[in-house]
Amino acid sequence: MPKPTQIGRLLEHCVGAAWTIREECVEILSAKDCYAPTGTSLAGCGPALVDLLSRQANIAHSLYQENTAGTITRAVLEDREKPSYLQRYNLALKRLEDIASIAYSKFYAYLFKDLPVCWRQLYTDARILKFCLLLLKSPYVAQDKSSGGSSPDDAHNCLDELVKTLDLALILAGAAGERRGRRWVDKALELLHAAWLAESTGREILNDSATNHDRPVKQVKFVESHGTSKLHDDNDQNTGTIFSTYEPFTPPVTRPIEKVDALSMEDFQTYMDRAQNSDLGPEPLIIRNALGEWPALSTRPWNRPSYLLSQTFNGRRLVPVEIGRSYVDEGWGQKLITFGEFLHDYIDPTLLPKAKDPSATDANYNNHEDHTTSKSTKDTPSSKPVAYLAQHQLFTQLPTLRNDILIPDYCYTSPPPHLADPSINQPELDEPLLNAWFGPPGTISPLHNDPYHNILTQIVGRKYLRLYSPLETTRLSARGKENGVEMGNTSMLDIGVLEGWDSPPASEEHDIENAAKNGIGRDAFKAIPFVDCILEPGDALYIPIGWWHYVRGLSVSFSVSFWWN
């Protein structure tokens, strides 16, 4: 059983959410003009939806108030003499799904950057209230000791739903809202994680300090043994299974990028300021031994599946993944799956048993997947496509993993702007932009350029990179606008196909024809100067703004990019 202080704090957290949502809605509805700004973004959703949300918040708050003893037993939930409790509970859940569905439908009417924040907050608040209601009926709260409590399957299924509910708010709506939003969701997940750790003692995770993130936890995990999987207690995260280092194919490095040992900030600034080619600016540089203090490479190692699973509710967290070889290929798409499903289906099937489809009971989840997955094909065991957790703000979603890495000092220097094309330059960032890149061998980022300087750090596995100077842009066949999407930062040249490493996808015939019309045949391609490298764990690659780069995962690989300007 979780300690009362753990689940009790979570219950108080939920009571606070229900109260503030109700009060915020009342504030809006009491204003003379319900659409006028009142210090809250919900006003833009209109009085009808605000009133509907207010009523569900009121139901949730009243249900929590009835939980005067801090625990609602199954007998209370199923008491025939008090049908109003279950009626209100079930009605509120249904209405919250309606609200979330209405809010999410607005997401398709705008580009996400233009989406009015009111719809994102409405979706987030509906998910928060759903979480609060699910928690009341969960085995963590609603336990009837006289009948032996809930079964392990009930507990697991309930935890799946609790985690999914908040992850949908994080991933789909960015957990918008000043009074609750991301801060509330992060705190709720932290408290739930603590309760789960305590409840799981003797089953999945053993740890006498559930909220101590400074040391790894002991976990039961699957390891390979003579072609089968078995349970293994890992007392030390520095022992046991690590991700495979197998490389199906390794391209040759023919024009190596310069390598240096870790530089001081002053020396790195000097390197950027004193470029050999004044028309080009600083060139790519590999900096070795620059990540030595990162826990992700030592005390909290990301190359061990057990650690990553321990930070994701044993793989229950949802993540967005790209399905397909490259985002320019026919059949490429995106979908939300659990982290455990990603590991099992696309990284190593011995890590976890086959995960249940987390979308089976969530209409909004299904709608999201149906609308964002384009031209996808059905998978078979022999033809399953590559999946890539690519350019995802994973560390905003999982703050505990963010504690395992450090922003390189180099991101606080003053790099030069793009010299060849000033239109690429972006407004100055307040903080570097962090993105995660995690996948199996064979992941590919096609030849493209970015509008920021980049420090690409390698934590797990190896990657091959090839880079072309911005001065070669006219020879690299940029795509332009395709199907209404601006693709001018991506080349039509498929490095793997042109080098003979990959078979050309059928969808590339058009690209090859267009490239040939621009004078970029195989011979002309071979004449374009480039530099290349293989990044090893612990390496950092400086990619200057505007440099074209092709990235290929050689083994199971986990990288983090830091954009800055």
Q: Are 216 and 295 in contact (CB under 8 A)?
A: no
Give the tens place of pLDDT for each residue, 294-350. 999 999 999 999 999 999 999 999 999 999 887 887 778 899 999 999 999 999 888
Domain ranges of the chain: 4-206, 259-302+404-476+528-564
Assign 28 to helix, strand or coil. helix
Burial class (CB in 10 A: 0-12, 13-18, 19+), 247: middle
- 163 half-sphere exposure, CB direction, 13 A CA radius: 27
Name the helix (H) or strand (E) containing 397: helix 394-397
pLDDT at 518: 53
The whole-angstrom separation of Cα 14 and Cα 348 is: 37
Cβ-based neighbours of 484, under 8 Å, separated by 6 or more: none
pLDDT at 515: 57
Candidates 347, 356, 430, 415; CA nearest to 386 is 347
Place of tokens 């390794």: 250
- Mean per-residue pLDDT, 168-176: 95
More confident residue, 169 or 81: 169
What residue type is 18 in one-letter code? A
More confident residue, 427 or 83: 427
Residues above pLDDT 70, as percent of the chain: 76
pLDDT at 126: 98
pLDDT at 41: 79
| pLDDT higher than threshold 80 for residue 382 | no
The whole-angstrom separation of Cα 269 and Cα 263 is: 10
pLDDT at 497: 93
More confident residue, 333 or 18: 18
Q: How confident is the model at residue 63 (pLDDT cuts 50, 70, 90)?
A: very high
DSSP 291-324: -TT-GGGTTS-TT-HHHHHHTTTTTTSEEEEEES
Q: What is the mean pLDDT of the chain?
A: 82
| pLDDT higher than threshold 90 for residue 139 | no
Least confident of 124-128, 377-381, 443-447, 501-505: 377-381
- Mean per-residue pLDDT, 139-166: 72
pLDDT at 353: 57
pLDDT at 130: 98
For residue 114, the tally of other CB atoms under 10 A from its CB is 7
pLDDT at 511: 57
Burial class (CB in 10 A: 0-12, 13-18, 19+), 370: exposed
Between strands 540-543 and 285-288, the pairing is: antiparallel
The whole-angstrom separation of Cα 395 and Cα 416 is: 28
- Mean per-residue pLDDT, 412-427: 89
> Residue 465 phi/psi, 5° resolution?
-130, 140
Q: How confident is the model at residue 402 (pLDDT cuts 50, 70, 90)?
A: very high
Q: How confident is the model at residue 34 (pLDDT cuts 50, 70, 90)?
A: low
Dihedral angle, C-alpha 186, 189, 191, 197, nearest 10 °: -140
Candidates 539, 184, 178, 193; CA nearest to 400 is 193
| pLDDT higher than threshold 50 for residue 223 | no
| pLDDT higher than threshold 90 for residue 170 | yes
Tokens of 474: 């006219």
The whole-angstrom separation of Cα 171 and Cα 358 is: 14
The whole-angstrom separation of Cα 406 and Cα 404 is: 7
| pLDDT higher than threshold 60 for residue 37 | no
Least confident of 61-70, 280-289, 366-375: 366-375
| pLDDT higher than threshold 90 for residue 546 | yes
Q: Are 564 and 452 in contact (CB under 8 A)?
A: yes
Q: Are 294 and 405 in contact (CB under 8 A)?
A: yes
| pLDDT higher than threshold 60 for residue 522 | yes
pLDDT at 360: 37
For residue 50, the tally of other CB atoms under 10 A from its CB is 24
| pLDDT higher than threshold 90 for residue 431 | yes
| pLDDT higher than threshold 50 for residue 370 | no
In 180-317, the DSSP E strands lie at 205-206, 218-225, 228-234, 259-261, 285-288
Candidates 557, 509, 561, 4; CA nearest to 303 is 557
Q: How confident is the model at residue 1 (pLDDT cuts 50, 70, 90)?
A: very low
| pLDDT higher than threshold 80 for residue 552 | yes
Contacts 24+ apart (CB under 8 A), 517-523: 518/477, 520/475, 520/476, 520/477, 520/492, 520/493, 522/498
Architecture of domain 259-302+404-476+528-564: Sandwich (2.60)
Least confident of 89-93, 154-158, 250-254: 154-158
